[in-house]
């Protein structure tokens, strides 16, 4: 097995793995690493997922960086913003979002830091997080794993966590995994975050110290390394300019 993969490339493969059983859904990815993960999945294990150009067109495959999107990827459909809400409501979408805070149940905050009446920081607002987490699978990408992001309790709930979803009886709520620059979390039967893997070269104690709630790192396996073909696609086809290094430094 190829072992020269960078940390960014390992994270891309972990993001791609979230689509292995997705079928024909619209892939919504926020950030460089998640976007490359969705594109890698389209070329490997999840050919049925649908990619967007980020505006209003569906593409037959990943666009070539720096080239017009029609050069190597044929436009196959048109979806104005109003139609995205229809797709979202039917569950035919899968989103990987970011988080300014996230707790052990997967409650996500992207709205504000501090008290609601007098916040220390105003962020981007709840955006589409409530609708996403109520209607279809949501995964999270955290590029800088720290106790500022992984907290005991979020200051405001933007994306619904497992505990609140159960209380509200949400039938289509599905949190998948949290991929970070250190590890991959899943969720146990009780709805709490559990470590699924730790990236090669990362000290398990670093993960524990960087998480604001208790986690068990004993016996946790290493995150898989992308194979030679995946690395070729990442380096030569999807990201020849190495933009991935902007989001995850070695």
How do the domains of the chain map onto residue ranges?
7-244
DSSP-derived pairing of the beta strands 93-97 and 137-142:
parallel
How high is the pLDDT of residue 35? 96
Task: Look at residues 214, 210, 204, 193 and name the one whose alpha carbon lies nearest to residue 147.
Answer: 210
**Residues facing residue 222 across a β-bridge:** 198
How high is the pLDDT of residue 71? 56
Q: How deeply is 24 buried, as exposed, middle or buried, from its count of CB atoms within 10 A (0-12, 13-18, 19+)?
A: exposed
How high is the pLDDT of residue 166? 96
Each residue's pLDDT expressed in tens, for the chain with a length of 250 residues: 446 999 999 999 999 999 999 999 999 999 999 999 999 999 999 999 999 877 778 888 887 776 665 556 688 887 887 888 888 888 899 999 999 999 999 999 999 999 988 999 998 889 889 999 999 999 999 999 999 999 999 999 999 999 999 999 999 999 999 999 999 999 999 999 999 999 999 999 999 999 999 999 999 999 999 999 999 999 999 999 999 999 997 6
Tell me how far apart the alpha carbons of residues 60 and 66 are, in angstroms, rounded to a whole number: 17
How high is the pLDDT of residue 88? 85
Terminus-to-terminus CA distance in the chain, angstroms?
Answer: 21
How high is the pLDDT of residue 123? 87
Quote the Cα angle for 221-205-12, to 5°: 50
How high is the pLDDT of residue 55? 74
Tell me how far apart the alpha carbons of residues 129 and 142 are, in angstroms, rounded to a whole number: 15
The order of strands in the sheet holding 75-78 is 51-52, 57-59, 75-78
How high is the pLDDT of residue 61? 86
How high is the pLDDT of residue 66? 65
CATH 3.40.1080.10 fits 7-244, yes or no: yes
Tell me how far apart the alpha carbons of residues 159 and 230 are, in angstroms, rounded to a whole number: 31
DSSP-derived pairing of the beta strands 174-180 and 137-142:
parallel
Tell me how far apart the alpha carbons of residues 8 and 234 are, in angstroms, rounded to a whole number: 10
Contact 58, 77 (CB under 8 A): yes
How high is the pLDDT of residue 59? 83
How high is the pLDDT of residue 2? 44
Tell me how far apart the alpha carbons of residues 126 and 153 are, in angstroms, rounded to a whole number: 17
For 95, phi then psi, to 5°, come to -120, 140
């Amino acid at each position: 097995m190829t072992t020269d993969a960078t940390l960014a490339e390992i994270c891309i493969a972990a993001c791609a793995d979230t689509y292995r059983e997705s079928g024909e859904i619209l892939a919504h990815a926020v950030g460089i690493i998640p976007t490359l993960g969705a594109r890698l999945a389209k070329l490997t294990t999840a050919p049925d997922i649908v990619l967007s150009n980020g505006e209003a067109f569906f593409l037959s495959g990943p666009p070539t960086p720096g080239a017009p999107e029609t050069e190597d990827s044929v436009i196959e459909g048109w979806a104005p913003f109003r139609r995205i809400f229809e797709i979202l409501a039917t569950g035919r979408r899968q989103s990987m979002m970011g988080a300014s805070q996230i707790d052990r149940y997967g409650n996500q905050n992207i709205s504000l830091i501090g008290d609601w009446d007098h916040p220390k920081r105003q962020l981007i607002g709840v955006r589409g997080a409530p609708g996403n987490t109520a209607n279809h699978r949501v995964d999270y990408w955290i590029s800088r794993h720290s106790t500022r992001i992984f907290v005991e309790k979020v200051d405001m709930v933007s994306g619904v966590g497992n505990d609140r979803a159960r209380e509200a009886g949400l039938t289509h709520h599905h949190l998948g995994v949290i991929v970070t620059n250190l590890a991959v979390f899943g969720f146990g039967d009780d709805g709490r975050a559990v470590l699924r893997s730790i990236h090669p070269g990362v000290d398990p104690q670093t993960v524990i110290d960087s998480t604001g709630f208790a986690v068990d790192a004993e016996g946790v396996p290493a995150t898989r390394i992308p194979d030679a073909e995946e690395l070729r696609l990442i380096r030569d086809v999807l990201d020849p300019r190495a933009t991935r290094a902007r989001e995850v430094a070695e």
